Amino acid sequence: MPGVFVLLWSTGFIGAKFGLPYVEPFTFLVLRFVVVIAVLAAVILVTKATWPRDPRLIGHLMVSGILVHAIYLGGVFGAIRHGVPAGLVALVAGLQPLLTATVVGPLLGERVGGRQWVGFGLGLIGVAMVLSTRLTGVSFDGFGWDGMSFAVAALLAITGGTLYQKRFCTGMDLRSGTLVQYVAALVVSAPLALAFETMEIQWTLPFVLALIWLVVVLSLGAISLLMTLIRMGEAAKVASFFYLVPPVTAVLAFVLFDEALTPLALAGMAATAVGVALVVKKA
């Protein structure tokens, strides 16, 4: 399950690269959320899924959805839109496992041992090595603190969202609970698209295929796997799997877009894999 999750989650960056030339970022998110909500509503009607009845659980689901779907994705897209290099955004978001490890003790009572700390550090070094090629020759003069604030917001949102999901939302039905989360994300994202974008869409074949892929594979498949992993495992170990996303994305970009895959990046992939293994390996 972790391997499938990493592979599916990594394709999100590829899908975004195919779709974003034809639509503005927040408009893309809004359209994606609308389609996902429609599909989930149909699934719920057919399968007769149970709706959450506890108002507190509904509130928790809304908070989790806003963090994981609206602020995280909006932060990533917003940072790139303000000129922050995609590799730097990915590197900032790559701090998530390390940030999660520092707070799971006080918040969830999980213990992070010495071997796991070594794994977190090695994983972060590996991610930096993989992403270093994307930052080579990139100008850092085209963005300011506004762009970096979006990247930091994305980091805090995905970290807080996974911890919040683990603490308050593990009892949700995946179908109805996920629908509530996406509705909350839509309520937050739609005003941003209306206020700051033209909301024009070029309905090309690449855009439609990217939208279908992001809805089915990411918003339904990968998110369901993530919520299941959070329910079944320790938050720190689940977070460590995010270290594997940049290496897998680099391989996919090499296959699909012929992007460079240097010896340094390959060494970083190996370091990342060892780091994650140290985190998830049972004592």
Which tens digits make up the pLDDT trace of 70-126?
999 888 878 877 777 766 777 787 778 888 888 777 767 777 778 778 888 888 888
Q: Is 202 helix (H, G, I), strand (E, B) or coil?
A: coil
This prediction's pTM = 0.83
Residue 281 has which token pair?
A: 């390996």
The mean pLDDT value for 204-214 works out to 93
Is the model's pLDDT at 266 over the cut of 80? yes
What CA–CA distance (Å, rounded) separates 102 from 182? 28
H/E stretch holding 228 reads helix 223-232
The interaxial angle of helices 114-135 and 263-280, nearest 10 deg, is: 160
Let me know if 131 is exposed, middle or buried by CB neighbors in 10 A (0-12, 13-18, 19+): buried
For residue 135, the model assigns a pLDDT of: 66
Angle of helix 55-65 relative to helix 174-196, nearest 10 degrees, comes to 50
Task: For the chain, give every domain's residue range.
Answer: 2-280
pLDDT per position as a tens digit, 11-61: 877 787 788 889 898 999 999 999 999 999 999 999 999 898 889 999 999
More confident residue, 145 or 65: 65
Residue 67, pLDDT above cutoff 90: yes
Alpha-helical (H) ranges within 169-222 are: 174-196, 205-213
Per-residue confidence (pLDDT) for residue 139, from 0 to 100: 55
pLDDT, position 142: 59
User: Where does the pLDDT of residue 130 fall: very low under 50, low under 70, confident under 90, or very high at 90 and above?
Assistant: confident
* 3-class SS string, 40-90: HHHHHHHHCCCCCCCHHHHHHHHHHHHHHHHHHHHHHHHHHHCCCCHHHHH
